[in-house]
Structure 1
Amino acid sequence: MDNLRIQLEPRSIATCPNPSLPAELLKAFGHGVLQHQVEVYEAAKTHDIILDLAPTGTGKTKAGLSVIHHNRNRNAIYIAPTNALIEQQSEAAQTFVDVTGLPHVVVAASAKQVREWPDDRVGPRPGEKIYNLLREPATIFPEYGGRPLLLVTNPDIFYYAAFFQYGSKDRSNIASEFYSSFSTIIFDEFHLYDAKQLVSLLFYLVLSQVFRYFEHGRKIVLLTATPEPACEAALNLLQKEGVKIQKVDGQSGKSHQIPSQTSVNLEIRKQIDKESLIVEITDEVVNRLQKQPDQHGAVILDSKDTLNRIADQLRQKVEEHHFGRIIGNTPKEQRHSAAQKQVILATSTVDVGFNFERDIEPERQNLDWLIFSSRDRFSFWQRIGRVGRVLGKPVTHIPSEAIAYLPEEAWEQDIANLPVDAGRTGLQQKLEALDCLKRPFLDIYWRSEAFLEIARPLLELETQLEGLPQASLITELYRVLQTVLQGKRDWDFYKKRMRLLQGAENLAKVPPEKIQKDWKYIKGGQSCLMSFLRTCCPEDYEDIQTGRASITSVESLLEENFDLAGDLRNYAKILHTSYSPLFRFRDSFFESLKVQDPHKLLLDEAGEVIIDPMHLLRFYEFESDGEQIIALSRAEQPYSLAFSLCVDSLEEFDNNYLCRLFAFENCSIKRMIGDSTRPTALIKEIEKQLIPGVVVKEHNKNRWAIVKLRKQGLECYPIHVSGRDRPTPKEYLFFPSLSGILAIAAAGVTLQSPDNEEFWVA
């Protein structure tokens, strides 16, 4: 039998019976201060970075906020992993500030909230608003004059600020404030960051060391119950560079334990096909509602469409008031009402910070049972930690139940040999040994183009410090980053590469006539011009390199030849767009859309929902009149999506554009059922002029790698390429955007850049 059954023993958390904390903090923690909360506060007295590794639902937020007490008159920032959590954690921070008497003003800052701040005092630019808020909160909010700031924001804003990604008028100012303004920085649930996102966190940690902010009392708190081994390895290397790091799990007080989670009767099932999974989970939920009407449960799945189809099935079998949905699109007020239902259907949006709280709290656990899927061991422990929570509850002895769906590869990798009595420790060891549950791409990304990503802020900093004694810090900063991320190439290589990309970005923004006149005054313009000559005009480039011609002759050609200036601009645009996925915190293929949902296909109550266009195209029937999109029904079967591309010559395409990072023109999307195309006006609205990615040809030697990449979650689509020399299209595979970079890096295939430079992979 494929299914495994195992009992996970109940969990306890250590308390601190006589905590030596300031009275105001004791008041904030309330009754039963936990050992890890005390240890975090104490560790911050002597350490620079503190990792709180206590289990989910055991008060890590308060532990992190307590560290602000050490720098009570200076600015602090709390980075919540999702927009949904910003408001929740802002409320928690405000309560903490009020109870402890900290002087801070708490401000929530998602992109939407920043846009809503008043424009009349500093202007409408988001970067300008954030900069002035950090400089003096009263600039934006007059009532907050003279008080330190506690900014609650998301990783996206933090990334764009620290990596000089705001507009040219604000990027230097806001980066300077983000580097120097905060004395306490709290990263919540940082294990959710992917490989690319972790780069920004590690960059900030290294910068804090090299620029000596730790010497001036800066404290950084990292909150996670499931640390990523690759990140732990990076922190160990940072520790060798002199950073004082302390890990806390609160388990030292073995004699003072209180229950935190009930025992869990866990059944591990093999992931099955989608239609069978919908039927199986629906029947399981209906059965529990009938046989256990006094219990509450939840279903947490990665697939939004699967979850919604389960909701459709449940409507036909039970009364609708029994269940509610919580997905990324669910508005705040609907989240609260859904949380009161007997069964909660949810996506990964509840993995962090959502406590399944009810208006009428039961004396026992809020969730008696849980059904969930998991792609990696981090989400497994995050989700299993949601069921059976009893910290502070009067009734703690009633067992909970869980059903976990794991990938089929787990059985191929011997999970079936897990002993029935393995318990939590045995299960943890087994899951860590399964390759199929490891999070892919971390060290692959770090050892490939991560250094090009960090070259952007490094180059900006070097420019600002030019001629100053602190300029030498850039070389030291790069050296430490190279050590932590195990990079291979030197700073000069990435500095030159980044100057080229800056030039491409700047040239792509201006019309050809301005390039003709001002190219040498455009920042990075000469680097991009030389790259253009080397790639597109090799004979002219060779003449300049050997001294047979000078750059002034090219300047004259540009001034005289409008078409040549246009070619340079197009080259710059392709180069810039190809690399643009490296310089975004989240990789989004298209902008999200507002969709009306009158039939409650996505929401429990009719209304407007924000949705990814690719998800809409695949799973819904809808109508669009150019002003609004209305979801009509769920597609009877999911649509497939394919790209099509027109080129001048298929032979040239095969020779020059396969396995090459590029930004493709004349690339369109087809929505299909089988071989039949279903056109929709929406596709034309969302298609971009240039679409970055990598096209590969599938064959016997690489098919295994492509299958593996798909299982690891990389987006991949068929692409049909036709040429004027061959109207009949050939089919390839297209890995769009960042997926293309990761696919080639993971597969170990040499990837070419648009300028024919090798896109370096370790």
Structure 2
Amino acid sequence: MSNQKLVIRLEPRSISACASLPDELSFIGNALQHQVDVFEQSKDADIILDLAPTGTGKTKAGLTVLKHQPNKSAVYIAPTNALIEQQTEAAKQFVRDANLPHVVKSASAKDIKSWPDEKVGRRSGEKLYNVLRNPTTVFDDVGANTPILLVTNPDIFYYATFFAYNNLDRGNIAAGFYTKFSTVIFDEFHLYDAKQLVGMLFYLAYSHVFRFFQDGRKVVLLTATPEPACELALQNFKQAGVKIARIDGEAGNTNLLPSQTAVNLELRPKPDSKEEWLAELTAEVVQRFRERPDENGAVILDSLDNINRLSTLLRQQGIGDDIGRITGPAPKKDRERAMQCQIILATSTVDVGFNFEKYPKPKRQNLDWLIFSARDRAAFWQRIGRVGRVLGKSETNIDSESIAYLPANAWEEGLTSLDTSEGRTALKDVLETLPCLDKPFLKAYWRSEAFLEIARPLLELEEMLEGLAEEKFILELFNTLKSIFEGNRTWDDYRYRMKLLRGAETIAKKTPKEIKKDWKYIKGGQAFVRTFIKAKFPEDWDDLQAGRTTLDEYVDLFKKDEDALAELKEFAEVFSTSYAPLFSFRSSLFESLSIRDPYGFILDESEETRLDPFHLLRYYEFVQNGDYIEVTSRAAEAYQLSFELRYTDNWQEFISTELNKLTAFKNCRIIRTLGGGTRPTDQIQSLNKHLLPGIIICPRTNAAVIFQLNKQGIISYPITIVCNDVEKEYRFFAGLSGILAIAMKFKQLRLPDDEVFIAG
């Protein structure tokens, strides 16, 4: 049988303890060698990559770099808000132990909003800038000239360095993030998606081109599983002269300490049937619970609904008191309770800095068994690294067990060639060859129209540096990024495109009266009006190109012709909304909803949380109850979600103007159906958007493409186009999915102004 289960024993892992601790790190005590190596290598290297396994103290390793520049500020980028809190406490303890002068402040969006506003005003951007400039202006407990260690997340870091704060603060904040920090630590960066990696790599390129590495800036990258695409990017930096040190905690063979038990691993293909898989998972968990009542275990799945349904099935088996859920919607109180349960059910939330701590602490591993699914290699190695951790434990020789569900394609692509007698190395080598475990988005994202994303900070920097000696670095920075991301156009192209977009964004926000008066003087305004004329009035564009008319004549036109003015504003709204997903850190089309869960379908103890509206619509029945949406029951079957677009012209006009085009659609609404019947969604007001960005394609001519993209996690939805003369069915790739879909599988797409973009 081609997809038979495979069983392999992964040998125990060890990590080197430090035999001779430098005086500067004597406060650490029982240091590991990789922690000392990070400290020593960072004396000379610009970028330090710590590849030690999960759960072996990489956070402390990164913080040792502060000792080289003890009076200068630093930033620590933790991947989630939950980890910000954890790493802030770890950093405070490290600073105390190391006798460093830094004040440590957590800086999630919620934290920044809660900072005192008596001295600097209430805007979050204003507070953040003043903390960067001088923390004493915000915090009374900070002395003058005290260096700060800011613990934040990739969202804040991205918005700061990509000039995404409001107009009043964004320049100051970006300048602070680019110049303030001598030590920059990116934690768990293997979990970064394409957009987050763009932000990180842009910062590295800026630090190189603008000579911050020459001035002593140190960047520490912490990961147990580096992404190959990111490895290639770092190789480009190395070739450009950036000094990069790689630290592997398992490279030494002396002073070894056990870090993970042997793991008896079974590899299984993930079943196509959800019900079949959940029944299989339930049986596996119940068997372990009843046959091994003294062992602790966990199930980690990618789907929130699968975890919630598994929880229901296990409760029906009578073990509800012994299980706890750790998921994105679960509040802190629920997570703390779940950690002490014998069986933990979790989503990818636990992939980030989560140690499954038990109290009182067991003498052996915290997790004896683990069942998990993995979409890619990084997730596989992160999750298998969670079971059997024994660093610092007194009992280290009790084997652990694990079942890993991989995509069924893995068996077709050669997983069966695995020599199950050769352990971890053989498994790693085989998994590296399986295309189904690749992260599909990175290169496609970088080489698509998404490359325009980096043009925003580049243009802002160019304008800030206009007339200064550093202005020459902008082209060098662009070319560095172009070599990393394999872009295929010039800086002049992207600069012009970004000016167009900026003009569109500004015009879209103005009233008709303001547009009449200001459009010629808006940054990018004249360029955008030219694009408007070219896209909407080809004959007028020919006259403008030939010099038979001038742009000045449109001043009077927009003053007198209200219809032309309204059409300009609408075109600006469509143009800017089409690109908005590129500059938004969150991939969801809609904000999460405040929900109440009184019956425990989603939460174990708490009743209130926030939930993705698509998840709510697909899997639950609900009612509006004041400011909250109350979940009343689980849907008998999962709803089918689709869209309906009312197009106020004929079908042929739709095909010629809207199909295969990145744009934004008005008169578009979400439909949810079950068994042919439609359920209303109007009660969720936040779903009623004026414009929805994305791409609509033909499902028949692109059936194979849609199937492939769906297997790679790029979701499309059925959409009914209701024209004046006919109704037709198509597929809708919403938001950023549209750009990714075209970049990965289509040769061409039209942009909002009908220009053609050649992806890759």
TM-score range for the pair, normalised by the shorter chain length: over 0.9
Q: Deviations over 1:50-90 (max 9, x none)?
A: 00011101110000011111111111000000111110111
TM-score of the superposition, structure 2-length normalised? 0.98
Query: Identity of paired residues, percent?
Result: 55
SS in 1 for 2:383: helix
CA distance in 2: counterparts of 1:124 and 1:675, whole angstroms:
50
Q: Deviations over 1:304-340 (max 9, x none)?
A: 1011011111111123221100001111122111100
Residue 39 of structure 1, aligned match among 32, 37, 40? 37
Letter in 2 for 1:722: V
Q: Which residue of 1 aligns with 2:285?
A: 285
Q: Deviations over 1:202-226 (max 9, x none)?
A: 1000000111111111000000000
CA distance in 2: counterparts of 1:491 and 1:475, whole angstroms:
7
User: What's the CA shift for 1:627?
Assistant: 2.4
Q: Deviations over 1:228-286 (max 9, x none)?
A: 11111111111111111111112343122111000000011111121111111111111
CA distance in 2: counterparts of 1:642 and 1:21, whole angstroms:
64
Give matches, 1:544-583, under 5 Å: 544-583=544-583
CA distance in 1: counterparts of 2:686 and 2:183, whole angstroms:
44
User: What's the CA shift for 1:725?
Assistant: 2.2
CA distance in 1: counterparts of 2:330 and 2:122, whole angstroms:
28
User: What's the CA shift for 1:122?
Assistant: 1.2
Q: Which residue of 2 aligns with 1:682?
A: 683
Residue 751 of structure 1, aligned match among 744, 749, 752? 749
CA distance in 2: counterparts of 1:687 and 1:3, whole angstroms:
47
Q: Which residue of 2 aligns with 1:122?
A: 120
Residue 8 of structure 1, aligned match among 7, 10, 19? 10
1:714 aligns with 2:714: yes
1:106 aligns with 2:104: yes
Q: Which residue of 1 aligns with 2:530?
A: 530
SS in 1 for 2:237: helix
CA distance in 1: counterparts of 2:606 and 2:457, whole angstroms:
44
Letter in 2 for 1:360: P
Give matches, 1:74-89, under 5 Å: 74-89=72-87
CA distance in 2: counterparts of 1:416 and 1:7, whole angstroms:
15
CA distance in 2: counterparts of 1:684 and 1:164, whole angstroms:
30
CA distance in 1: counterparts of 2:72 and 2:606, whole angstroms:
45
On the 8 A contact 1:452/1:494 being kept in 2, the answer is yes
CA distance in 1: counterparts of 2:117 and 2:441, whole angstroms:
42
Give matches, 1:485-504, under 5 Å: 485-504=485-504
On the 8 A contact 1:268/1:403 being kept in 2, the answer is yes
On the 8 A contact 2:46/2:213 being kept in 1, the answer is yes
On the 8 A contact 2:578/2:693 being kept in 1, the answer is yes
User: What's the CA shift for 1:699?
Assistant: 2.1
SS in 2 for 1:182: coil
CA distance in 2: counterparts of 1:442 and 1:415, whole angstroms:
24
CA distance in 1: counterparts of 2:393 and 2:364, whole angstroms:
6
Structure-2 change in CA distance of 1:265 and 1:252 (3 Å): closer
Give matches, 1:729-744, under 5 Å: 729-744=727-742
Q: Which residue of 2 aligns with 1:416?
A: 416
1:479 aligns with 2:475: no
On the 8 A contact 1:513/1:565 being kept in 2, the answer is no
Q: Which residue of 1 aligns with 2:368?
A: 368
Structure-2 change in CA distance of 1:725 and 1:626 (3 Å): farther
User: What's the CA shift for 1:481?
Assistant: 1.2
SS in 2 for 1:668: strand
Structure-2 change in CA distance of 1:682 and 1:412 (3 Å): farther
SS in 2 for 1:751: strand
CA distance in 2: counterparts of 1:427 and 1:125, whole angstroms:
52
Q: Which residue of 1 aligns with 2:667?
A: 666
Q: Which residue of 2 aligns with 1:275?
A: 275
User: What's the CA shift for 1:720?
Assistant: 0.3
Q: Which residue of 2 aligns with 1:154?
A: 153
Q: Which moved more, 1:200-209 or 1:470-479?
A: 470-479
User: What's the CA shift for 1:420?
Assistant: 2.1
Give matches, 1:157-306, under 5 Å: 157-272=156-271, 273-306=273-306
Q: Deviations over 1:145-167 (max 9, x none)?
A: 22110000000000000000000
On the 8 A contact 1:136/1:145 being kept in 2, the answer is no
CA distance in 1: counterparts of 2:710 and 2:26, whole angstroms:
50
CA distance in 2: counterparts of 1:185 and 1:470, whole angstroms:
22
CA distance in 1: counterparts of 2:561 and 2:626, whole angstroms:
40
Letter in 2 for 1:55: P
Q: Which residue of 2 aligns with 1:620?
A: 620
SS in 2 for 1:159: helix
Q: Which residue of 2 aligns with 1:600?
A: 600
User: What's the CA shift for 1:606?
Assistant: 3.5
Q: Which moved more, 1:254-263 or 1:376-385?
A: 254-263
On the 8 A contact 2:369/2:402 being kept in 1, the answer is yes
Residue 134 of structure 1, aligned match among 119, 132, 135? 132
Q: Which residue of 2 aligns with 1:64?
A: 62
CA distance in 1: counterparts of 2:572 and 2:625, whole angstroms:
35
User: What's the CA shift for 1:20?
Assistant: 2.1
On the 8 A contact 1:599/1:606 being kept in 2, the answer is no
After superposition, the CA RMSD in angstroms is 1.1
Letter in 2 for 1:677: T
CA distance in 2: counterparts of 1:462 and 1:113, whole angstroms:
32
CA distance in 2: counterparts of 1:606 and 1:202, whole angstroms:
39
Q: Which moved more, 1:638-647 or 1:314-323?
A: 314-323
SS in 1 for 2:680: coil
CA distance in 2: counterparts of 1:519 and 1:626, whole angstroms:
43
Q: Deviations over 1:109-156 (max 9, x none)?
A: 111111111222211211111000111111111111221100000000
Structure-2 change in CA distance of 1:345 and 1:574 (3 Å): same
On the 8 A contact 1:15/1:253 being kept in 2, the answer is no
CA distance in 1: counterparts of 2:67 and 2:167, whole angstroms:
36
CA distance in 2: counterparts of 1:125 and 1:601, whole angstroms:
37
User: What's the CA shift for 1:422?
Assistant: 2.8
Letter in 2 for 1:281: L
CA distance in 2: counterparts of 1:394 and 1:151, whole angstroms:
36
User: What's the CA shift for 1:631?
Assistant: 0.8
Q: Size of the alignment, in residue pairs?
A: 755
User: What's the CA shift for 1:21?
Assistant: 4.3
On the 8 A contact 1:199/1:450 being kept in 2, the answer is no
CA distance in 2: counterparts of 1:577 and 1:448, whole angstroms:
18
CA distance in 2: counterparts of 1:201 and 1:368, whole angstroms:
36
SS in 1 for 2:604: coil
CA distance in 1: counterparts of 2:66 and 2:661, whole angstroms:
48
CA distance in 2: counterparts of 1:26 and 1:252, whole angstroms:
23
User: What's the CA shift for 1:625?
Assistant: 4.1
CA distance in 1: counterparts of 2:252 and 2:423, whole angstroms:
22
CA distance in 1: counterparts of 2:181 and 2:288, whole angstroms:
50
CA distance in 2: counterparts of 1:643 and 1:126, whole angstroms:
36
On the 8 A contact 2:747/2:758 being kept in 1, the answer is no
On the 8 A contact 1:327/1:347 being kept in 2, the answer is yes
Letter in 2 for 1:680: T
